[in-house]
Structure 1
């Protein structure tokens, strides 16, 4: 069967796919089905929305074009990083103090939802605590101090600064001058989290169709209709959670975001001694450059190392070569280590770097554009979507009212525009300004 964006629909060549918990192959959609709520896309946004709704007693059908967690939700760095891509100071400057206060009230929520899901449904996904932001320059340290103080101004005191000595106790690399730890951050096996949430959804009576790429949706009908090659679903409410992989199925959403690919690789198992030498307290790490590195240890003591961006969502020819030089800068002692897995995946970038949520017609909702912060944001937005569908529009309306902006030049120029912008920020990183 042809899958326009997903090859044969099977998972990519990732470490996560190679170490995934056993999962059944769900049936593909065939025939005509009626449901209360249809959710398109079985990544974190769709899974979170569907699970929250089935917990509220709704009849929910989840449809996925490939396998559960096939896209970013099963490929990402596995890091629970609190906050949005756009900082609270940026949000306050653009949208006002009240909106910033509103956003500050929910930036920790996604991590709490993940931990609650793992505990409630006994999801085996190697959940660990702690997220460290790494500084390469004194300017980075000042930026981190400003972020800690900003969050404290909004009542969040979960971050502590790390001087050079304390940083070496968290991330044993000569590259960093210091950093900051978020005690409410963390990391996990992202594909196993998605698979566990799918199991939880089905255990409560939810229905999942896999390997069923959506060909068209009718958002104007009194009851929205979703069509695939072999079947269709008629629903009272439709929720679109395709994010970077929705393609042109819903043209009104296409111009709102741009797919951006990021790459990861996994070393061979390093053994517990070397692994703890690298990251003594088993936290996850990301630096604070515009084009950043991010890394952590897996449960079997591999270093999972990611970074880089390709605007437009294309895969680089040699992922290992692209990431290797950065990994060796962080950990020179890994010069002879074997790389067992390398992969790429897309996230959806919004021009404002703020995720978007809204409604098309009377009964179709959507959420997308997490801009690289989707692990936590998608879980929060899933809850907010479920609240709206259940009749409480308070938080949904606040996000839906935020203005969004198309990329300058439209779809044709959004990639070169963003590349030029990334060159500028990369130059600033190199100059330390």
Structure 2
């Protein structure tokens, strides 16, 4: 589905167009990709008075960064025990603390830049679709003890008071998490980068690059950039510019729809301003938007994007299966977007060769983790820290190509079957 038809594009408050690159220019660091990772990196470098150029193939926030669920909460797409098996327990805790720092970074940026049109709304509820209260309590106690998470346990009666569905058994609410309008957030960041002297070129896809020497050259159709450093932050829409990066992740499609205006009907099902996600792999995530007038609902993943009509049917089936009382709530828009997933289900952050950095594979991780990635890449470039090295165990490993996509789809179907069986047993 084309970008201009999405809800986020329609409700963005800053609509200025930026020029494409024509001719040659020079800078300290050129960033390829105008999503959240790229803009966060650019913002931090511009704040340090480095000359920065951002090349975006489409427009700022075109990809998943600008049209996602808007969730800002700590954690990763894979669980902490899986991370600890790779890194060890202490390093896993340090990595989790970085994700908390990412939440704080997004919150602080909204405050410092006065991005009121990001509409930050506190609270994210993570709900169980089976009876697992004891394990959920233990998890909350552990996270509150180790990280000061302040997670609030909700039993069956509490969760069904605010989410009027028999699908949910228990939940945790995170008051420190929040949800936002991501495209307005990104475009405000872009304005600040430009105010600080950074240059952003839209409709300027990188077509070729020379990365081996001390001077890097990145070419577009009508120009080129010479720089000391290159940062690759292209996500699910990464092309063949750097083969090693392209081969290291899978482009996975996810789906979102927005309802018609019907606040009275929506209130019969959802009585909270918190965003909601369930415990299934690639499960549902949703939130009430437009001051309670509409419902934004996302979920499901596939290795190939479906048509808007087909994806709307799938998402509606999920929505009405959870809330039968919403069967008359009409869908106004539906869209899909590509996210990048690494085989190890962790972000890929680091320096692949001298002066060439990468910050990608943020599918399923949330806005905070993507922002954190850009922040620590900027720290590495500025020599302020080497915290990006925490992600060395999750490198640019081959994702398997076509076979990897097939395996990912089969794995998702397997996990769906396991979810179905567990819920059926409940």
Whether TM-score is above 0.5 comes out as yes
User: Is the contact made by 2:277 and 2:286 (CA closer than 8 Å) also made in structure 1?
Assistant: yes
Residues 372-397 of structure 1 deviation map (CA, whole Å, 9 limit, x = unaligned): 11411111011101100101342022
Distance 1:253 1:313 in 2: 21
Distance 2:113 2:52 in 1: 18
Distance 2:307 2:397 in 1: 26
Tell me whether 1:79 sits opposite 2:71 in the alignment. Answer: yes
Q: How does 1:349-360 map to 2 (within 5 A)?
A: 349-360=341-352
Distance 2:366 2:228 in 1: 27
User: Is the contact made by 2:255 and 2:334 (CA closer than 8 Å) also made in structure 1?
Assistant: yes
User: Is the contact made by 1:51 and 1:200 (CA closer than 8 Å) also made in structure 2?
Assistant: yes
Distance 2:18 2:63 in 1: 17
2:295 aligns with 303
Residues 100-126 of structure 1 deviation map (CA, whole Å, 9 limit, x = unaligned): 121122121121111111111111111
Deviates further, 395-404 or 62-71: 395-404
Tell me whether 1:424 sits opposite 2:414 in the alignment. Answer: yes
Residues 334-363 of structure 1 deviation map (CA, whole Å, 9 limit, x = unaligned): 212221111001111111111111213211
Residues 389-416 of structure 1 deviation map (CA, whole Å, 9 limit, x = unaligned): 1013420222235455433xx2130111
The alpha-carbon distance between structure 1 residues 402 and 417, as it changes in their structure 2 partners (threshold 3 A), is: closer
| Consecutive unaligned residues in structure 2, runs of 5 or more | none
Shift of 1:281: 2.6
Distance 2:250 2:122 in 1: 31
The alpha-carbon distance between structure 1 residues 91 and 146, as it changes in their structure 2 partners (threshold 3 A), is: farther
Shift of 1:425: 1.1
Residues 225-281 of structure 1 deviation map (CA, whole Å, 9 limit, x = unaligned): 11111000011111110011112111011121101011010001123x444443323
1:207 aligns with 199
Shift of 1:53: 0.9
Tell me whether 1:290 sits opposite 2:244 in the alignment. Answer: no
The alpha-carbon distance between structure 1 residues 330 and 340, as it changes in their structure 2 partners (threshold 3 A), is: same
User: Is the contact made by 2:348 and 2:395 (CA closer than 8 Å) also made in structure 1?
Assistant: no
* TM superposition score normalised by structure 1: 0.93
Instruction: Describe the SS at the equivalent of 2:362.
Output: coil
* TM superposition score normalised by structure 2: 0.94
**Counterpart pick for 1:52 among 35, 40, 44:** 44
Instruction: Describe the SS at the equivalent of 2:147.
Output: coil
1:243 aligns with 235
**Counterpart pick for 2:379 among 383, 387, 398:** 387
Tell me whether 1:134 sits opposite 2:127 in the alignment. Answer: yes
1:281 aligns with 272
The alpha-carbon distance between structure 1 residues 355 and 143, as it changes in their structure 2 partners (threshold 3 A), is: farther
User: Is the contact made by 1:219 and 1:360 (CA closer than 8 Å) also made in structure 2?
Assistant: no
Residues 137-175 of structure 1 deviation map (CA, whole Å, 9 limit, x = unaligned): 014x45533432442353333212111111123322232
1:4 aligns with none
Distance 2:161 2:74 in 1: 22
Distance 2:221 2:52 in 1: 21
User: Is the contact made by 2:95 and 2:390 (CA closer than 8 Å) also made in structure 1?
Assistant: no
Distance 1:243 1:315 in 2: 21
2:90 aligns with 98
| Consecutive unaligned residues in structure 1, runs of 5 or more | 1-6
**Counterpart pick for 2:247 among 247, 250, 255:** 255
Deviates further, 292-301 or 44-53: 292-301
Residues 293-329 of structure 1 deviation map (CA, whole Å, 9 limit, x = unaligned): 1100112420001111012556566221111111111
Deviates further, 101-110 or 40-49: 101-110
1:179 aligns with 171
User: Is the contact made by 1:164 and 1:178 (CA closer than 8 Å) also made in structure 2?
Assistant: yes
Distance 2:271 2:325 in 1: 15
Count matched residues. Answer: 421
User: Is the contact made by 1:349 and 1:369 (CA closer than 8 Å) also made in structure 2?
Assistant: yes
Distance 2:154 2:25 in 1: 55
User: Is the contact made by 2:194 and 2:200 (CA closer than 8 Å) also made in structure 1?
Assistant: yes
Q: CA RMSD in A?
A: 1.9
Instruction: Describe the SS at the equivalent of 2:99.
Output: coil
1:111 aligns with 103
Distance 2:164 2:337 in 1: 28
2:156 aligns with 164
Residues 171-211 of structure 1 deviation map (CA, whole Å, 9 limit, x = unaligned): 22232112111111111111111111111211222111001
Distance 1:183 1:337 in 2: 29
Residues 51-88 of structure 1 deviation map (CA, whole Å, 9 limit, x = unaligned): 11111111111110001000001111111132011212
